[in-house]
């Protein structure tokens, strides 16, 4: 895959979100709770839970918080979250795909709609932009943690069943078929690679530069969506900045 490092962008966003760490933990707790509720509390037999726990560890979420969410799922809690997606266009006609976990669909739909309308975007119907994205497994190897060169990493990725490797100054970024994601991640770990991030993501088939006069408005929209307690992930088809 061409383009600038997605990992670089993620790291920058994570650094900017340090002050919002409590909110990040809250969102991860919801994901852990629902994964344990739906697939059982044992990560060895619940790949989805294992993936989310790895994501929580990567975000430095305390083990006590993780275990608390799992125990809550094992108990008699009637708490439930629906998985909802929203689609729309940001300023400049940039496609936006949103994943949410909510206990109140009406509240979340209203909040997402307001975020779009206040920031120059428009909320679309189901299917209006989802066809522009592909579900992919995404695995990051921090380059500073391995002595392997790019050729060796590519060979190991292909042997593990990965689809593509993108190399940047900071990281090796591996993309996989979602069905092969767990297999590829575990094979790379077995090969001795330290995994910095591993998750299922929505990857745009094509990207569009954000017009210069829309960049501030575009960022305000993304920030408003990411700040929403019910929104888990925001994906856009915006081209990476130089």
SS3 at position 165: strand
Q: Crossing angle for the helix pair 181-190 and 47-58, nearest 10 degrees? A: 60
Which pLDDT tens digit goes with each residue over 13-53? 555 555 567 788 999 999 999 999 999 999 999 999 999 99
CB atoms within 10 A of CB 234: 21
- Concatenating the DSSP letter of every residue in 133-146 gives EEEEEEEEEEGGG-
CATH superfamily for 6-74 is: Integrase, N-terminal zinc-binding domain (1.10.10.200)
Task: Provide the residue-wise pLDDT of the chain in tens; the chain has 242 residues.
Answer: 333 456 555 555 555 555 567 788 999 999 999 999 999 999 999 999 999 999 898 888 999 999 999 999 988 778 889 999 999 999 999 999 999 999 999 999 999 999 999 999 999 999 999 999 999 999 999 999 999 999 999 999 999 999 999 998 889 999 999 999 999 999 999 999 999 889 999 999 999 999 999 999 999 999 999 999 999 999 999 987 65
pTM of the model: 0.86
Extended beta strands in the chain, E state: 82-90, 94-102, 122-124, 133-142, 164-167, 171-176, 195-204, 231-236
**CB within 8 Å of 104: residues ≥ 6 apart:** 230
* Residue-range domain boundaries for the chain: 6-74
């Amino acid at each position: 895959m061409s383009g600038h490092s997605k990992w670089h962008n993620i790291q920058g966003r994570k650094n900017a979100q340090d002050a919002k760490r409590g909110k990040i933990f809250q969102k991860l707790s919801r994901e852990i709770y629902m994964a344990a509720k739906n697939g059982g509390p044992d990560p060895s037999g619940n790949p989805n839970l294992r993936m989310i726990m790895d994501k929580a560890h990567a975000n430095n979420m305390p083990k006590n918080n993780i275990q608390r969410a799992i125990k809550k799922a094992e108990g008699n809690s009637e708490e439930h979250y629906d998985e909802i997606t929203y689609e729309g266009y940001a300023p400049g006609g940039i496609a936006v795909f949103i994943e949410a976990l909510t206990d109140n669909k009406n509240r979340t739909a209203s909040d997402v709609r307001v975020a779009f309308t206040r920031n120059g975007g428009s909320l679309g119907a189901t299917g209006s932009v989802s066809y522009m994205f592909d579900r992919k497994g995404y695995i990051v190897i921090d380059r500073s943690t391995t002595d392997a060169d790019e050729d060796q990493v590519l060979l190991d990725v292909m042997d593990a069943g990965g689809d593509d490797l993108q190399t940047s100054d900071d990281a090796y970024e591996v993309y996989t078929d979602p069905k092969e994601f767990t297999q590829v991640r575990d094979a790379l770990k077995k090969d001795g690679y330290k995994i910095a991030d591993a998750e299922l993501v929505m990857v745009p088939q094509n990207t569009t530069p954000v017009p210069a006069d829309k960049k501030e408005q575009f960022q305000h929209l993304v920030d408003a969506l990411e700040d929403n307690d019910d929104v888990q992930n925001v994906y856009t088809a915006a081209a990476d900045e130089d």
